[in-house]
Every structure is written in structure tokens, then in C-alpha cells.
């Protein structure tokens, strides 16, 4: 299902509220990951950028960022969020597969990837590509959900499904009532 940019933004903020209700701040998590890097050097590459939370945080630290993802819809939302944060001019959003990065060897000072490993049937080509495009002395920054993180994501997805079911039931009830009149 294709959503409008406004719908995507609404869904993103609603999901953030649900995460916060469960005690998790997604923006703080991106800050935490970037803080974990000993020393950040640009330009940075964010692999599997999704909604761009990490790319935005890297740009906030003053780095020029290239963000790459295979999903058009996610890339569109990431661009909107970067724009909202006033950081879009520092981030280049590109369409591409992380298993075949279209960049020269050693092009980046930092190559980052958060919560993407679990999407990959075989992570080896992606990890090899990340190692190829980071320069000597550069930083590879990789973070992934732990078991608690996966459980949290499932709870949020279940809550969203429940909410959709309720909305659907309400819409059907209205339709039936109208049908009776
Ligand atoms: C959970 S999201 C990542 C979240 C994001 N890194 C953040 O910090 O907010 C996973 C993303 O990886 C992308 N992805 C999965 N496989 C990919 C691949 N082979 N190349 C590029 N992007 C990929 C998906 O399209 C999705 O947007």
C-alpha cells in the first residue's frame, strides 16, 4: 500500500508515541549509537537508512552523509524527516543495494548500519562492501537489536495491528448501521 508523505509522517510519529509508552526513545537510541563511536570522521555512509534516524544524527554532528536504501517509501520519509530537522542539505539520499555499493574503495571516513542485519538473508556481501568503502583508520559502526529490542518491536507491531482491527470494526459497524437505515 502506498501512503502519502503526510500519512507516512503521521504513522512515524504515532509509532514513536507507542515506543515511548513502552519506555523506548528511538531518537535517543540513534544518539546513543553515534555517541558509541570513538571518533567520527566524514564523509559518512548510512547503509539501510530506513527512516534515516542515524543519518540525521550523523548530519547533526556536522558530517556530510550519504544514505542508501532499497526502499523508495522509506527513503522518501527519511528525506521528509531530515528536512524537518533542517539537515537535508547535508544528506544525499540514494537508491541502492548494500550488497553492491556504488562507491570507490576507501571513499568514507565512517560507514554505519543500524538494525539492518536482521533484514539480510546473507550479511557477508554487505559487510564486505562496508569494509571496502571505509578508508584506512575509518570507523565501521554497526548496531543491531538485541532480544529485548526484537520483543519491543513485536509489541509495537501488535499494538498497531490491534488499533487497525478496532478502526476496521468501527468502520464496519457504521457501514452496517447505515445499511439498516
Ligand atoms: C529497520 S530499517 C533500518 C533503520 C535505520 N537504519 C535507522 O537507523 O532508523 C531496515 C532498512 O534496511 C533496508 N535494507 C534491507 N536490505 C537492504 C539492502 N540489501 N540494501 C539497502 N538497504 C536495505 C530496508 O529497506 C529498511 O529500510
Residue 170 neighbours by CB under 8 Å, 6+ apart = none
Residue 90 neighbours by CB under 8 Å, 6+ apart = 59, 63, 64, 65
104/159 same-domain check: no
Q: To the nearest 10°, the Cα dihedral for 79, 147, 11, 143?
A: -10
What are the cell numbers at 60? 547533526
161/122 same-domain check: no
175/136 same-domain check: no
Q: Is residue 119 in contact with ligand 1, taking CB distance under 6 Å?
A: yes
Give the chain's domain count: 2
CA nearest neighbour of 164 among 18, 9, 4, 5: 18
37/119 same-domain check: yes
86/154 same-domain check: no
pLDDT in tens, 17-27: 998 998 899 99
Q: Is residue 18 in contact with ligand 1, taking CB distance under 6 Å?
A: no
170/90 same-domain check: no
CA 15 to ligand 1 center in whole angstroms: 17
71/44 same-domain check: yes
136/159 same-domain check: no
Q: Whose CA is nearest to atom 10 of ligand 1?
A: 116
Across the chain, what does the average pLDDT equal? 90
34/90 same-domain check: yes
Are 111 and 140 spatial neighbours (Cβ–Cβ below 8 Å)?
yes
Q: Is residue 111 in contact with ligand 1, taking CB distance under 6 Å?
A: no
Distance in angstroms (rounded) separating the CA atoms of residues 54 and 56: 5
Q: Is residue 56 in contact with ligand 1, taking CB distance under 6 Å?
A: no
101/177 same-domain check: no
pLDDT in tens, 162-177: 877 777 777 666 666 6
136/151 same-domain check: no
Q: Which residues of 24-39 are buried (b: 16+ CB within 10 A; e: fewer)?
A: beeeebbbebbeebee
Cα Rg of the chain, angstroms: 19
Q: Which domain holds residue 38?
A: 5-144
178/95 same-domain check: no
CA 94 to ligand 1 center in whole angstroms: 12
The CATH number given to whatever domain includes residue 113 is 3.40.50.150
Q: Is the dihedral of CA 115, 150, 85, 138 positive or negative?
A: negative
pLDDT in tens, 136-158: 999 999 999 889 888 988 888 88
Amino acid at each position: 500500500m502506498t501512503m502519502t508523505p503526510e500519512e507516512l509522517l503521521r504513522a512515524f510519529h504515532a509509532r514513536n508515541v507507542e515506543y515511548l509508552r513502552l519506555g523506548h526513545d528511538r531518537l535517543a537510541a540513534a544518539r546513543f549509537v553515534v555517541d558509541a563511536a570513538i571518533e567520527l570522521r566524514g564523509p559518512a555512509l548510512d547503509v539501510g537508512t530506513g527512516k534515516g534516524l542515524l543519518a540525521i544524527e550523523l548530519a547533526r554532528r556536522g558530517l556530510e552523509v550519504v544514505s542508501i536504501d532499497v526502499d523508495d517509501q522509506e527513503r522518501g520519509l527519511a528525506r521528509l524527516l531530515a528536512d524537518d530537522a533542517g539537515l537535508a542539505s547535508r544528506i544525499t539520499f540514494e537508491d541502492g543495494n548494500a550488497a553492491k555499493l556504488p562507491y570507490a574503495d576507501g571513499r568514507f571516513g565512517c560507514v554505519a548500519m543500524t538494525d539492518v542485519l536482521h533484514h539480510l538473508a546473507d550479511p557477508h556481501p554487505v559487510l564486505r562492501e562496508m569494509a571496502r568503502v571505509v578508508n584506512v583508520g575509518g570507523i565501521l559502526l554497526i548496531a543491531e537489536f538485541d532480544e529485548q529490542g526484537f520483543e519491543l518491536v513485536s509489541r509495537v507491531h501488535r499494538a498497531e495491528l490491534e488499533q487497525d482491527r478496532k478502526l476496521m470494526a468501527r468502520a464496519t459497524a457504521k457501514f452496517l448501521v447505515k445499511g439498516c437505515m
